[in-house]
């Protein structure tokens, strides 16, 4: 068993999982709060499909690479469970739905957005 562990895990020590300060986005009313808060603090919405392997992979990469100070609020939207909220995000912020998708909101408008692998190429710090 040791050889498989070395090949696939690299270590027998458990790795600490990085936990981001996610704020669950599960009501349409929260979008007005996000809009208002974006006037003083950058707001991020990560739209995730819990049924999509690509979405899971991109989210894991995002979590691993996330290195933004506390000047942002980070919202997590499970778009399968909250389809109505996901639809309203598109209408309110005038961004075509994609999954996974990251929206950067400042002063009430989306200043940047990306989907799939482009999420992890985005330099979020330049919008903070």
Q: Give tens-digit pLDDT for 8-20.
A: 555 555 556 778 9
| Residue carrying the six token digits 């669950």 | 24
| Residue of 11 and 79 predicted with greater confidence | 79
Query: Residue 127: pLDDT band by 50, 70, 90 thresholds?
Result: confident
Q: Above 50 in pLDDT, residue 86?
A: yes
pLDDT reported for residue 18: 79
Domains of the chain, earliest start first: 20-127 (3.40.30.10)
Coil, strand or helix at 105: strand
For residue 91, CA distances in Å to 7, 19, 41, 50, 120 come to: 47, 30, 22, 22, 24
Specify whether the CB–CB gap between 98 and 116 falls below 8 A: yes
Taking the C-alpha atoms of residue 58 and residue 42, their distance in angstroms, rounded to an integer, is 21
pLDDT tens-digit map of 36-69: 999 999 999 999 999 999 999 999 999 998 887 6
Residue 4 has a pLDDT of 47
pTM, rounded to two decimals: 0.85
């Amino acid at each position: 068993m040791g050889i498989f562990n070395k090949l696939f895990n690299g270590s027998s020590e458990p790795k600490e999982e990085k936990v981001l300060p996610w704020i669950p986005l599960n009501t349409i009313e929260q979008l007005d709060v996000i809009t208002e808060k974006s006037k003083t603090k950058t707001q991020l919405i990560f739209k995730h499909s819990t049924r999509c392997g690509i979405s899971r992979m991109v989210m894991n990469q995002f979590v691993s690479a996330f290195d933004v100070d506390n000047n942002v609020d980070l919202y997590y939207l499970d778009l399968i469970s909250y389809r109505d909220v996901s639809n309203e995000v598109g209408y309110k912020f005038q961004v075509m739905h994609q999954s996974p998708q990251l929206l950067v909101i400042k002063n009430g408008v989306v200043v940047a957005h990306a989907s799939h692998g482009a999420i992890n190429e985005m330099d979020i710090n330049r919008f903070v």
